[in-house]
Amino acid sequence: MKTILLLTLLIVFGFSGLAIAQCNTDPNEIGIFWSEDCGSCQTCLNQTSGTATAYVILINATTSAGVSGYEFCLTNADGSAFSPPPTVEVHHYILPPHAINVFDPPCFEVAFNTPIPWSACITLLSIEIQIFDSAQWCFGVKSNPAVPGGMIFVDGADPNNLLAMHPNTGPDAEDFAMACLNDPDCLSPVSTEGSAWGTLKSLFR
């Protein structure tokens, strides 16, 4: 049924959507991008050597006071344990200033003495990697099974106000793939207001 609906929507919105998916701008979305500008929606990177940085970003937080904490785990795209291929090394996990993580990476339960100020793109974590060849790898974020309530962030003004973060690429297990390296099937979306991509995604929520 979903396949038929998806094909129908592609016809309605035009097959150009296969080449240019559009960036979802719903509130409290979490994504992984190869740029801190979440508006560019750079989810794909083709690079065979050198260093790169992936950014875990909260998009359009609904709390004007910013973020005083968050919780999530990194994962491979299929939901398995976060593990890059042998020719990709994670050098550093960089947290925002004044952050304390009570878990060991790749899981994070983080609190701040001073909240991260509000912006449309709030960087929660930077992941610095070294790339040695053209290995393909897709990865994302998911809930930590040890923490009830799913992926959440904490209102900068009210520590009792916990808000859910929704994966930018979809709510289902097969949608853990938030960012990809050297993946020929990865089609990085473009930012567009009122996008057809956001409309299509909403039908599967």
Mean pLDDT of 43-69: 96
Between residues 53 and 202, the one the model is more confident about: 53
Mean pLDDT of 86-99: 95
pLDDT, position 191: 46
131 has pLDDT over 90:
yes
Please write the tens of the pLDDT for every residue from 8-37.
322 233 322 222 334 667 899 999 999 999
Q: What is the pTM of this model?
A: 0.80
Cα 40 to its chain centre, rounded Å, is: 13
CATH code: domain 25-188 is 2.60.40.680
pLDDT, position 30: 92
User: How sure is the predictor about 112, in pLDDT bands with cuts at 50, 70 and 90?
Assistant: very high
Instruction: Give the domain ranges of the chain.
Output: 1-24+193-205, 25-188
pLDDT, position 65: 96
**Is there a contact between 16 and 4 (Cβ–Cβ < 8 Å)?**
no
pLDDT, position 129: 98
Mean pLDDT of the chain: 80
Please write the tens of the pLDDT for every residue from 151-195.
999 999 999 999 999 888 765 545 566 899 999 988 665 544 333
pLDDT, position 11: 29
Between residues 107 and 41, the one the model is more confident about: 107
Give percent above pLDDT 90 in the chain: 61
Between CA 161 and CA 153 the distance in angstroms is: 9
Between CA 26 and CA 166 the distance in angstroms is: 9
**Ramachandran region of residue 152, left (φ > 0), alpha (ψ -120 to 50) or beta?**
beta
